Structure 1
Amino acid sequence: MQNIAVVTGASSGIGAATARRLATEGFHVVAAARRADRLAALVEKIGPAATAVECDVTSDQSVAALAAAVGELGGPVTLLVNNAGGAIGLDPVESGSTADWQWMYDVNVLGTLRMTQALLPALVASGAGTIVTVGSTAAFTAYEGGGGYTAAKHAQTALVGTLRLELSGKPVRVVEVDPGMVRTDEFSLKRFGGDQARADAIYDGVREPLVADDIADIIAYAATRPHHVNLDRIVVRPIAQAAQHKVHREK
Structure 2
Amino acid sequence: MQKTAFITGATSGFGRACALRLAQAGWNLILTGRRQERLDDLQQELGSQCQVVTWKLDVRDAEAVQACINNLAPPFDEIDLLLNNAGLALGTEPAQTCDPQDWKQMIDTNILGLTNVTHALLPKLIHKGPGASIINLGSIAGRWPYPGGNVYCGTKAFVEQFSYALRCDLSGTGVRVSNLAPGLSESEFTLVRTVGDKAAYDQLYQGSDPIQPEDIAETVFWLASLPPRLNVNQLELMPVSQAWSPFSIHRN
TM-score, length-normalised on structure 1?
0.92
2:135 paired residue number: 132
Aligned to 1:123: 125
Q: 1:156 aligns with which of 130, 154, 159?
A: 159
Partner SS, residue 119 of structure 1: helix
Distance in 2 (CA, whole Å) between partners of 1:183 and 1:245 is 24
| Conservation of the 8 A alpha-carbon contact between 2:4 and 2:76 | no
Distance 1:245 1:54 in 2: 44
Q: Which structure shows the higher strand fraction?
A: 1
CA apart distance, 1:96: 1.7
Separation in 2, partners of 1:29, 1:22: 8
Give the alignment's TM-score, normalised by structure 2. 0.92
Distance 1:90 1:231 in 2: 31
Whichever residue aligns with residue 240 of structure 1, its letter is: S
Instruction: Describe the SS at the equivalent of 1:169.
Output: coil
Judging changes above 3 Å, is the alpha-carbon distance between structure 1 residues 124 and 71 closer, same or farther for their aligned structure 2 residues?
Answer: farther
Q: State the 1:168 CA deviation.
A: 1.0
The 1:244–1:140 alpha-carbon spacing in structure 2 relative to 1, beyond 3 Å, is farther
CA distance in 1, matches of 2:102, 2:246: 23
Contact 1:2 1:76 in 2 (8 A): no
Aligned twin of 2:250: none
State the partner residue of 2:238.
237
Q: 1:64 aligns to what? A: 66
Identity among equivalent positions (%) equals 36
Number of the residue aligned with 2:181:
178
SS at match of 1:44: helix
Structure 1 unmatched runs, 5+: 247-251
Task: After TM superposition, give the deviation of residue 205 of structure 1 in Å.
Answer: 2.2
- Give the whole-Å Cα distance in 1 for the aligned partners of 2:76 and 2:17: 25
Match of residue 203, structure 1, among 202, 205, 214: 205
Tell me how large the CA RMSD over aligned residues is: 1.7
Measured against aligned partners, the alpha-carbon deviations of 1:150-184 in whole angstroms (never above 9, x if no partner) come to 01111121211111111111120001110001101
Query: Judging changes above 3 Å, is the alpha-carbon distance between structure 1 residues 212 and 229 closer, same or farther for their aligned structure 2 residues?
Result: same
Residue pair 1:100, 1:148 contacting (<8 A) in 2 also: no
Q: Unaligned regions of 5+ residues in structure 2, if any?
A: 248-252
Equivalent-residue separation in structure 2 for 1:22 and 1:217 (angstroms)? 9
Task: Give the letter for the 1:182 counterpart.
Answer: S
- The alpha-carbon distance between structure 1 residues 149 and 228, as it changes in their structure 2 partners (threshold 3 A), is same
8 Å Cα contact 1:17/1:212 also seen in 2:
yes
